[in-house]
Amino acid sequence: MRTDRTVTHSARIYRGTAENLRRLARVLRRGGLVAAPTETVYGLAANAFDANACRDIFRAKRRPADDPLIVHVADLRMLARVAEPNEAVTRLARAFWPGPLTLILPRKPLIPDVVTAGLSSVAVRMPAHPLFRRLLRLSGLPLAAPSANPFGYVSPTTAAHVRDGLGSAIAYILDGGPCRHGLESTIVDVRNPRRPVLLRPGVITAEQLARVLGVPVRTRARRRKPGTPVPAPGLMKRHYSPLRPMRLHRRITAAMAARARSDEAWICFQKPDWACAAKNVFWLSARGDAGEAGQRLFALLRRLDRGPWKCLHAELAPAGGPGLAINDRLRRAAAK
């Protein structure tokens, strides 16, 4: 039995040079963990066929064993080693892969139980980030990779965020700069291609998926009948949580901010014209662009967690496009 699985690490950040990528791919092949950038958030990757390596992911993140991992693949050939493809995969892959879309499919037996939390399905994604793709190609392995943060905290969108949260639990962090989308992938269950179900909103919307699939995409039922299985086990109400209590508002006005105490921070969706030089007023996108707002959300929540604030107030994004995904993360960040 190996004894080095509980040692304390001190993470080092690696630039994406050819030599470093070869080295990190070797780490993965040996059963080690590597945190690496994707276009959504940073992931903590391990060989998806290696049950011990995947157990180490859960240990490093202190993630409960009933919260399954997403398996990342380089191409459709690799996907076929992990999951049973169907017609929905063909269509969605052509439209959205590589990209921020995760599909739930029937699993193949090579995937160990620890990855899927014992489910008969597996979550699969073909990421677009060039550095993550290089790791997939160089290692030749499908990589299981949840977000590279301690379980329940805000997902990391820079290499420094990863080190802040997991610096003593892992040894290798690949730096690819800030993530392009900053929000976790859209997850859609396409085991039945005629009845796709959206499990997690992301920058790829249900409307876009429906257009490509030619059938409506239902949203996961909010209330389950007692006794029915959990559709997406990890999608609990409270998640992505900043340390400070957070309150949500449909709209934040000058009057609200003026009435409040100076140790309360206000996160507006767009730069308000009344913000002036107020030190406790922040915004996600100066011009109110939902893509940019999503990209900045987690970084801002982390920054505010380090500030003097006792309470955060956040304004909901306008519905439509990534607005739904932003509001999903805000609601869970604010959940008690």
Relative to beta strand 197-200, strand 218-219 is: parallel
H or E element in which residue 264 lies? strand 264-270
Q: Check binding of 199 to ligand AMP (CB under 6 A).
A: yes
104 binds, among ligand AMP, Mg ion, none (CB under 5 to 8 A by kind): ligand AMP
Q: Check binding of 40 to Mg ion (CB under 5 A).
A: no
Distance (Å, rounded) from C-alpha 283 to C-alpha 300?
9
> 3-class secondary structure for 134-185?
HHHHHHCCCEECCECCCCCECCCCCHHHHHHHHCCCCCEEEECCCCCCCCCC
Q: Check binding of 123 to ligand AMP (CB under 6 A).
A: yes
Q: Check binding of 299 to ligand AMP (CB under 6 A).
A: no
Q: Which stretch binds ligand AMP (CB under 6 A): 76-84, 85-93, 120-128, 255-263?
A: 120-128
Q: Check binding of 60 to ligand AMP (CB under 6 A).
A: no
Residue 146: closest CA among 115, 174, 170: 115
Residue from the set 40, 116, 139, 147 that interacts with Mg ion by CB under 5 A: 147
**In 3-state terms, what secondary structure has residue 87?**
helix
119 binds, among Mg ion, ligand AMP, none (CB under 5 to 8 A by kind): ligand AMP
Distance (Å, rounded) from C-alpha 60 to C-alpha 286?
36
Minimum distance from CB of 320 to ligand AMP (Å)?
Answer: 23
HSE, side-chain direction, 13 A CA sphere, residue 42: 32
67 binds, among Mg ion, ligand AMP, none (CB under 5 to 8 A by kind): ligand AMP
**Contact footprint for Mg ion (CB under 5 A):** 146-147
What does the binding site for ligand AMP look like in residue numbers (CB under 6 A)? 67-68, 70, 104, 116, 119, 121-123, 146-147, 184, 187, 199, 232-235
